[in-house]
Structure 1
Amino acid sequence: MTVQLYARDVGSGTPLVLLHAFPLSSAMWLAQREGLAGRFRVITPDLRGFGGSVLGAGEPSIDAMADDVALLFKHRGVPRAVVGGLSLGGHVAMALCRRHPDLVLGTVLAGTRAGADGAAERERRLRQAERLERDGTVQVLMEEILPDLVGPTTLRQRALIYGRVRGLVQATPPQAAAWALRAMAGRAEVAGTLRDLRVPALVVVGGEDSSTTEDEARALAGALPDAEVLVVPRAGHLCAVEQPDLFNQAVAEFAAALARTSP
C-alpha cells in the first residue's frame, strides 16, 4: 500500500526531487532548498514514517518507498524529474529508476551502493530494528548510527552541523526507523538492473565516508551505462550536509545539463 508523502516544494524550473538519508528527514536538505531553488523546483519529501509522512501499512520494502515517491510525482503534477538520494534515499532512487523509469530525467546517487547487505550487516540492522521496537527510543541510533554519519573534519570543525544532525537523529520516530532498517536489510543486489538505466547518473561520495567507500561508489558508477563520480573532500556520509556548496554546485551543473538536452 502506497503512502502519500509530506514534501517541501520550493522554486521553479526543472524539478529536482531529493530523497533523504537514514535516519533523518527532508529537513536535512535545507541548504539544497536554499541554494538550488533559484534555478530548479526543489521537492524534498519525507519518506514514509519520517518527518511529516505517516508510516502506513505493509511489509518493509525499498520498492514500496519508491512507489510512494512515484505517487508524489502524480500528486505534484511532475512528469519527470532529476531524482537524487543520499544513503537510504539513494536506494529508493535506484528502485524508482527500476520501477518507474519514465519519471526519471537523471539521477544523483550519494553515499549509496549497489550491493545488498552482507550477512553481518543484515543481522546488525535487524538487531537495531528489534531494539528500536523494544525500547521505544532512538538510543541505539545515537550509539551506533550517529557516529558514522559525518566525517572527522565535521566533528572537528563544524560543531553546528554535527549538532543539527544529532538533533535530526534524536527526532526520528523509532517505529519508522525500525521499518526502514528492515527494508534496507531485505533489499536485493541491484547492479544488474542498473545496467539498463537509460538516463545519466552522478555518483557522489564523501572522501571521509566510513559507511560507503570511494571504491563502492566507483563500483556503482561502473555498473551504470552513463555515470560520473564526484568525491567530496573533507566530508563523511552526509556529504550534502557537510559540504553543501560543493554538493549543490555539482548537482546544479548536472541538472542544468540534463534540462538543456531533454525534450
Structure 2
Amino acid sequence: MQLYARDVGQGTPLVLLHAFPLSSSMWLPQREALAGRFRIITPDLRGFGGSVLGAEEPSVETMADDVAALLKSKNIPRAVIGGLSMGGYVAMALCRRHPDRVRGLVLADTKATADADAARENRLRTADRIIAENSVAVLTEELLPKLIGPTTMRQRALVYGRIRGLVQSTPPKAAAWAQRAMAARPDSTETLRAVRAPALVIVGAEDGITTEADARHMADALPNGELHVIPRSGHLTSIEQPDLFNQSVADFVSAVAKSTA
C-alpha cells in the first residue's frame, strides 16, 4: 500500500511522521521553513489524510513497513526519520524493523515505554466508542484539551483552532485503527539501545502527555542521543513553538549530514 506524501525541497532527506489524530498537514511550518535546506517528506500514515487504511491488523510495525516502502519507492536508501507522538512510535518501530534506513532519528513528544494497563484499556475503550458512534467526538472532548500547553491556550488561540480543525477532520475508522495499534505497541527501550544513528529527543516543557521524564528515559537509552526541552510548549512542539523546533531539527540534520556524508 502506497502512502500519500508531500515531498518538497532538496538535500538530505528528512521524513516527518505525524501525531495522532492529525495528518501530514501538521508539518506545514516545517515544510515552509526547512525545504530550503533539506528534502522534507511528510507522509499521511495509513487511513489519515490522503492515505487509505487497508485491511491489515492494527500495528505500529505495519505503519513502519509503510514508511520503509515509501522510501524504497522514492529510491531513498537512508533518511533522517522524525516522529512526533504516534509518529515517534512508528519511527521507533522503523528502527526495529528497518534499521538500515535510519540515518538519524528525531523523537519528539513521544515515549519508548508501552502503555500501562489503564492507558491501554482507555485507548481500546476510545476506539470502540469511535466505531460505535462513527465519530471522533470523543477525541475532541477528551484528547484535544491535552494536546497543547497552557501557554498556547492563553496566547495562541489560532493555533488551538487549527489543531481542533485537524482533530475533527480525522476519519473515524483510521482513528480507531491507530488507537488499537498504539495500544498493542511494545516497549521500545531496547530498540533505542541498539540505535547506532545520531538521535535528537525533543519535548515540550509543558507536555502533560509525554513528560520530560519520558524524554530523558529515551535520551539515556540512546547511545548517541541528545535532549532538547522546548519552553512554553505542550505536546505539539512543532506547531506550538515552530521556530524553536525547526532550529533544533535543522541543526541536528545538518550535523548528521556532515557526519554521515
TM over 0.5: yes
Alpha-carbon distance in structure 2 between the residues aligned to 1:78 and 1:161: 33
Alpha-carbon distance in structure 1 between the residues aligned to 2:162 and 2:105: 26
Q: Who is 1:247 aligned against?
A: 245
Provide the secondary structure at the position in 2 that maps to 1:145: helix
1:149 aligns with 2:147: yes
- CA offsets 1:108-150 (integer angstroms, 9 cap, x no match): 0001111000000000000000000000011000011101110
Q: Who is 1:78 aligned against?
A: 76
Q: Who is 1:211 aligned against?
A: 209
Provide the secondary structure at the position in 1 that maps to 2:62: helix
1:123 to 103, 121, 124: 121
1:182 aligns with 2:180: yes
* Runs of 5+ unmatched residues, structure 2: none
Alpha-carbon distance in structure 2 between the residues aligned to 1:9 and 1:151: 30
Instruction: State TM-score, norm by structure 1.
Output: 0.98
4+ long deviations beyond 6 Å: none
2:92 to 80, 85, 94: 94
Alpha-carbon distance in structure 2 between the residues aligned to 1:162 and 1:7: 24
Alpha-carbon distance in structure 2 between the residues aligned to 1:257 and 1:150: 29
Alpha-carbon distance in structure 2 between the residues aligned to 1:79 and 1:202: 21
Q: CA deviation at 1:56?
A: 0.4
Identity of paired residues, percent? 68
Provide the secondary structure at the position in 2 that maps to 1:44: strand
Instruction: State TM-score, norm by structure 2.
Output: 0.99
- CA offsets 1:8-43 (integer angstroms, 9 cap, x no match): 000000000000000000000000000000000000
Provide the secondary structure at the position in 2 that maps to 1:203: strand
Counterpart code for 1:230 = H
Q: CA deviation at 1:184?
A: 0.4
Contact 2:193 2:223 in 1 (8 A): yes
Over the aligned positions, Cα root-mean-square deviation in angstroms equals 0.6
Provide the secondary structure at the position in 1 that maps to 2:177: helix
- CA offsets 1:40-93 (integer angstroms, 9 cap, x no match): 000000000000000001110000000000000011121111110000000000
Provide the secondary structure at the position in 2 that maps to 1:198: coil
1:165 aligns with 2:163: yes
Counterpart code for 1:217 = A
Counterpart code for 2:76 = V
Provide the secondary structure at the position in 2 that maps to 1:204: strand
Counterpart code for 2:19 = A
Alpha-carbon distance in structure 1 between the residues aligned to 2:4 and 2:173: 17
Q: Who is 2:62 aligned against?
A: 64
Q: CA deviation at 1:193?
A: 2.1
Counterpart code for 2:245 = F
Contact 2:14 2:79 in 1 (8 A): yes
- CA offsets 1:178-200 (integer angstroms, 9 cap, x no match): 00000000011110121111101
Alpha-carbon distance in structure 2 between the residues aligned to 1:190 and 1:16: 22
Contact 2:95 2:191 in 1 (8 A): no
Alpha-carbon distance in structure 2 between the residues aligned to 1:149 and 1:55: 24
Alpha-carbon distance in structure 1 between the residues aligned to 2:81 and 2:146: 24
Provide the secondary structure at the position in 1 that maps to 2:207: coil
Counterpart code for 2:102 = V
Alpha-carbon distance in structure 2 between the residues aligned to 1:218 and 1:243: 20
Counterpart code for 1:17 = V
Alpha-carbon distance in structure 2 between the residues aligned to 1:258 and 1:117: 31
Q: Who is 2:230 aligned against?
A: 232
2:30 to 32, 37, 40: 32
